[in-house]
Amino acid sequence: MGIFESIEAIVDYAQETGLSLAEIMIEQEMRINRTSREAVLHKMSDALLAMENAYQRGITGEGVFSPTGLTGGNAVKMRKYRQAGKTLSGQMTLVGVEAALATNEVNAAMGVVCATPTAGASGTLPGVLFAIHEQYHLSKEDKLNFLFVAALFGMVTANNAFISGAAGGCQAEVGSASAMAAAAAVAIMGGSPAQSAHAFAMALGNLLGLVCDPVAGLVEVPCVKRNTVGSTNALICADMALAGIENQIPADEVIEAMYKVGRNMPRELRETGLGGLADTPTGNRIKMRIFGREVT
């Protein structure tokens, strides 16, 4: 078998063979790239290390700040708020918010992140992974399996739609990342492949139509905070799937819907910095402050 072309095919194959979703992705990588299991695991371990380092950097000291001053330090604020104990959301959810903020603040500060699936959406998946780790103390193998499942679902999304804001809006970035994370969260918590597919479909469907409108064309505002929505959406959808809740629209059809919505988005809402929040009075003032001229 070559590269899987649909979520349905993945779920069917998992049910037929009894293989885990993570193992399916590992074996595909070995087969397609003609490499060893050790090489595949090593490469994913590097990605995991980049995520862990970015998270830690973002919550160390006073945090990190971007050259523009638009973003930075909020992951540390969230960590202090969370640790104080008097919160509205649960601790696990807020660890996800904290990790998402930290990772994307590092990205905005020109630090090293792992694009999952893009740099602009790089906080969503680590937010979910480290939230689960905080609660359930995942082993390294568990963390790697989480990433392999996310990669499997992300591969199908990229091949059948898009994962860039310029092509399809933020639904293609944070939306895809959230769906990938939801599917992986279900798998790592012992859910079935079909439940992972339902979680994926719910998460992507919830963010359908999300626009990409970076202020001043920079991946900072509102991008950093949107990753927190991606993380929390993924956790909620994973819980719904694990509870036995199913999505009425199959995952592959949700991907197709996302593709069609993205194609119909005006260019102003696809990473051009010309619409949405970027085109507000404050957004335009920020653009002028940073660049000193109109940027088109």
What confidence tens digit (pLDDT) does each residue in 103-145 have? 999 999 999 999 999 999 999 999 999 999 999 999 999 999 9
Question: Would the pLDDT of 91 be above 60?
Answer: yes
- Domain membership flag for residue 52: yes
Percent of the chain with pLDDT over 70: 98
Question: Would the pLDDT of 295 be above 70?
Answer: no
Instruction: Please provide the DSSP assignment of 1-63 as one string.
Output: --S---HHHHHHHHHHH---HHHHHHHHHHHHHT--HHHHHHHHHHHHHHHHHHHHHHTSTT-
- pLDDT in the model for residue 1: 64
- Domain membership flag for residue 296: no
- pLDDT in the model for residue 293: 62
- pLDDT in the model for residue 2: 75
The model carries a pTM of 0.97
- Domain membership flag for residue 216: yes
Whole-number mean pLDDT of the chain?
97
- pLDDT in the model for residue 43: 98
The whole-number average pLDDT for the span 1-10 is: 91
The whole-number average pLDDT for the span 45-64 is: 98
- How many structural domains comprise the chain? 1
- For position 67, which CATH number holds? 1.10.4100
Tens-place pLDDT, residues 205-238: 999 999 999 999 999 999 999 999 999 999 999 9
Tens-place pLDDT, residues 230-286: 999 999 999 999 999 999 999 999 999 999 999 999 999 999 999 999 999 999 999
- Domain membership flag for residue 1: no
Query: CA-CA distance, 18 to 189, in Å (whole number)?
Result: 17
DSSP alpha helix (H) spans, the chain:
7-17, 21-33, 37-58, 74-84, 91-108, 124-136, 140-160, 165-168, 174-188, 193-206, 223-242, 251-264, 281-291
Query: CA-CA distance, 246 to 194, in Å (whole number)?
Result: 9
Q: What is the number of residues in the chain?
A: 296
Please give the C-alpha separations between residue 200 and each of 17, 43, 225, in angstroms, as whole numbers. 21, 24, 21
Question: Would the pLDDT of 146 be above 80?
Answer: yes
Question: Would the pLDDT of 296 be above 70?
Answer: no
- pLDDT in the model for residue 102: 98
- Domain membership flag for residue 274: yes
Question: Would the pLDDT of 294 be above 90?
Answer: no
The whole-number average pLDDT for the span 135-157 is: 98
- pLDDT in the model for residue 265: 98
Please give the C-alpha separations between residue 280 and each of 145, 246, 273, 277, in angstroms, as whole numbers. 42, 39, 11, 5
The boundaries of the domain holding residue 201 are: 7-291
- pLDDT in the model for residue 57: 98
Higher-confidence position of 296 and 168? 168
- Domain membership flag for residue 217: yes
- Domain membership flag for residue 281: yes
- Domain membership flag for residue 21: yes
The whole-number average pLDDT for the span 77-95 is: 97
